[in-house]
Structure 1
Amino acid sequence: MDNSLPAFATETLLDAFRTHYHRFAAAVANLVSNPTDATVIARLGDDLDEYTAIYQDAVDSSHQGRPVLVQTIPSDGPGRPRIYIDPDFLQWAYGQRSTAGIARFLGVGRTTVRNALLSAGIAEHQPSPFPIPMDFAGFPPDVEDLASAHAAPTSFTGPVSGISDDELDTLLIRLRTHYKRAGLSMLNGMLRRLGHRVPTDRVRSSLLRIDPVRRIFERIRIRRRDYRVLGPNSLWHHDGQHGVSVHNVRIERLWVDITAQVGAAWADRFVLLELRHGLDINNTAHIWLLHILFLGTINSQLAFFAEAWNQHRIQIRNGPNRSPTDMFVFDMYVNGVRGNQLPVEEEGLGDDELEVYGIDWQGLRDDSILDSQRQNNPRTEGSSSWVGRVGPPPDLSEVVVDPPAGTLSNEEVDGLQAAFSGLIGSADEDDIVSLWSHALAYVRVLHPDVF
């Protein structure tokens, strides 16, 4: 695909903006002094239209196109043409939106989407949501009426999970044990990640049963504001929590949530091990043992949290609630597929302008966000520039889990993990205490001078 600007636009978008800005300023100054001059007004409108056309063309050429999701295939004989919907897209979309929602997005009828779902084997006929009619005496209808009843529309809504109330309560209790700050929306995302499509009313009723004090419904106030880029993948945020950078501020909002949902609970557990169960945080061998025993569990919790977060519905100002997955994929089809290349309209930016591209200036005035950034990013590592970089940062978060020098052999490490495989992986507090205490005693027998 040709990503260059059209021939008539010989200047970059940035140069065009600067040029047209001076024209706008001059035209407005003229308009103020001559408010009834129709020629000035017409020229101002023409100039605005010209810049808008340049901008729109630059936006259109900054991505790799929009995949074709719907095709109209002419009929071989008489009859209406057939509408073909990409089955891969349909498979994904059916797990994100209702049949009506998919139809609205594609601009086709619901019947067309239903037929495509059936044809691709993605959905099956569900029982009709309407009861079989009875006559006034309460008897089944005549044969003719029964035939019309069977002709009633069937449901094409994705099948709702058959999980019982007791099973749902147990599952939510387990999720709340590991993610104590998770609210209704986040728990719904976790259920979807686990493959359960449960109506919100059922989830709410279950939460009232397991937490009758209703602490679960204490709202965490989140100040949201409009956040606009050209499309998904236009601007990436990365923060491995090392290095101080003004570009980290926006993603620091997510770190606050991750710390509240996952990090804080593990910090409390490790403090408990330090206060009551022999953990010496100044002993590198003890830190290594923590990694061996719990790093995999923490990573699994973080991965599940990320996957569930991508499925949870976010309240959007002046729009329907949408999940991050919904926004990323559906908006990619609307605004064009983008990768990690620099969009054409930004190729004219200088290094100074690139350095401040994407900075959350409002976030830099948010004390809570800045406090989190200061606490979690070591000041000694300094800051870095992203100008001229391609691909992921060179220094990603990594925890090296090598045994203390001259202590455990690979066979002894394997034996340690095998001995406590029944406890490794559990995030229950009692299991964590038991695993640490017994594993510490185990390695002290092998190397008492180190542990």
Structure 2
Amino acid sequence: MEARYGLQHGAYIWGRSVHNIHIERLWCDVTRGFGRKWSNFFMSLEVSAGLRPDLDAHVWLLHHLFIAAINQDASNWAKAWNEHKIRFDNDRTRSPRDLFFFGMIDNGLRGFDVDQEEEEFVEDFDAYGVDWEELHNADIMAHHMEHNADEQLDPDAIENPFSNDGPHRLSHVEVQEPLCPFSIEHVTQLDAHLALNPHSISRNMNSRRSVWIDALDFCRGLYD
């Protein structure tokens, strides 16, 4: 972004996370919408259903069983959010989808291909992007502190409070795809076995727990 638009353009906001309070609000809504359900589910599997998150084979099995369901939950949540009504000061209600569509009609297409000369340059980086009302929302800030506690304790993550010249290091999360421990024939056998499980198409989390236990037992049997 900075290579394209320049260092003083404000394409990337350095500094404290309060500058990105909008995305924190979104993550808070995502967690409430469906994220916490899956987090609690995986923790319950670890506590009482044999899940070993340190084993690549177990992580692969989680992906194989539940990644499609998680993606479906995310798509359903995004669709509901895009269609939900927002009330404005003039008592009109509009959905985010309406605002995006009619905004392009009124203001033209917006994106990374817009000429740099048409973009607004930011003068005050310290105040840019801060939603002061949301910044004082106790629920949102509690969510931020809960999911960013490690950064608060990491001395390397602390920036110079007298400077806004960028962080000393960027956050990096490397997600490696778990390797399948089975041959194609074994995966086919697993899928055929799961198709016989009456809980395999259920969206109930207790039913999904039953599917995990059944699948884990079947996978152990393949090796035994």
Question: Structure 1 length as normaliser, TM-score?
Answer: 0.37
For residues 251 and 400 of structure 1, the distance between their equivalents in structure 2, rounded to whole angstroms, comes to 25
Tell me what 1:109 maps to. Answer: none
Matched, 1:370 2:146: no
Tell me what 1:344 maps to. Answer: 118
For residues 335 and 386 of structure 1, the distance between their equivalents in structure 2, rounded to whole angstroms, comes to 33
Cα separation, partners in 2 of 1:418 and 1:316, compared to 1, 3 Å: farther
Offset at residue 424 of structure 1 (A): 4.8
Offset at residue 354 of structure 1 (A): 4.8
C-alpha distance after superposition, 1:134-153 (max 9, x if no partner):
xxxxxxxxxxxxxxxxxxxx
Tell me what 2:29 maps to. Answer: 257
Cα separation, partners in 2 of 1:445 and 1:315, compared to 1, 3 Å: same
Matched, 1:419 2:205: no
Question: Structure 2 length as normaliser, TM-score?
Answer: 0.69
Structure 1, unpaired ranges of 5+: 1-234, 238-243, 388-393
For residues 305 and 236 of structure 1, the distance between their equivalents in structure 2, rounded to whole angstroms, comes to 28
Cα separation, partners in 2 of 1:323 and 1:446, compared to 1, 3 Å: same
Tell me what 1:33 maps to. Answer: none
Q: Map 1:226-265 to 2 at 5 A.
A: 245-265=17-37
The answer to whether the 8 A contact 1:297-1:424 is kept is: no
Q: Map 1:51-450 to 2 at 5 A.
A: 245-340=17-112, 341=114, 344=118, 346-347=120-121, 349=122, 353-354=124-125, 357-377=128-148, 378-379=150-151, 382=157, 399-403=175-179, 407-421=181-195, 424=200, 426-447=202-223
Offset at residue 284 of structure 1 (A): 4.1
Offset at residue 330 of structure 1 (A): 1.2
Query: Which letter maps to 1:319?
Result: D
For residues 425 and 236 of structure 1, the distance between their equivalents in structure 2, rounded to whole angstroms, comes to 44
For residues 11 and 93 of structure 2, the distance between their equivalents in structure 1, rounded to whole angstroms, comes to 22
For residues 431 and 298 of structure 1, the distance between their equivalents in structure 2, rounded to whole angstroms, comes to 15
Question: Which protein has the bigger helix share?
Answer: 2
Query: Which letter maps to 2:186?
Result: E
The answer to whether the 8 A contact 1:245-1:383 is kept is: no
Root mean square deviation of aligned Cα: 3.7
Cα separation, partners in 2 of 1:345 and 1:288, compared to 1, 3 Å: closer
What is the SS of the residue equivalent to 1:278? coil
Rg bigger for which structure?
Answer: 1
Cα separation, partners in 2 of 1:282 and 1:402, compared to 1, 3 Å: closer
For residues 299 and 421 of structure 1, the distance between their equivalents in structure 2, rounded to whole angstroms, comes to 20
Cα separation, partners in 2 of 1:425 and 1:346, compared to 1, 3 Å: farther
For residues 386 and 443 of structure 1, the distance between their equivalents in structure 2, rounded to whole angstroms, comes to 52
The answer to whether the 8 A contact 1:288-1:402 is kept is: yes
Cα separation, partners in 2 of 1:409 and 1:246, compared to 1, 3 Å: farther
Cα separation, partners in 2 of 1:386 and 1:279, compared to 1, 3 Å: farther
C-alpha distance after superposition, 1:366-409 (max 9, x if no partner):
3322221232245269499999xxxxxx99988543226xx323
Residues 373-382 or 269-278, more deviating: 373-382
Query: Which letter maps to 1:298?
Result: I
The answer to whether the 8 A contact 1:292-1:401 is kept is: no
For residues 183 and 203 of structure 2, the distance between their equivalents in structure 1, rounded to whole angstroms, comes to 27
For residues 382 and 289 of structure 1, the distance between their equivalents in structure 2, rounded to whole angstroms, comes to 34
Query: Which letter maps to 1:429?
Result: M
For residues 236 and 424 of structure 1, the distance between their equivalents in structure 2, rounded to whole angstroms, comes to 45
Cα separation, partners in 2 of 1:290 and 1:236, compared to 1, 3 Å: farther
The answer to whether the 8 A contact 1:249-1:360 is kept is: yes
Identity %: 35
After TM superposition, what 4+ stretches of structure 1 lie above 6 angstroms from structure 2?
A: 383-387, 394-398
For residues 40 and 18 of structure 2, the distance between their equivalents in structure 1, rounded to whole angstroms, comes to 30
Cα separation, partners in 2 of 1:295 and 1:446, compared to 1, 3 Å: same
Query: Which letter maps to 1:278?
Result: G
The answer to whether the 8 A contact 1:420-1:439 is kept is: yes
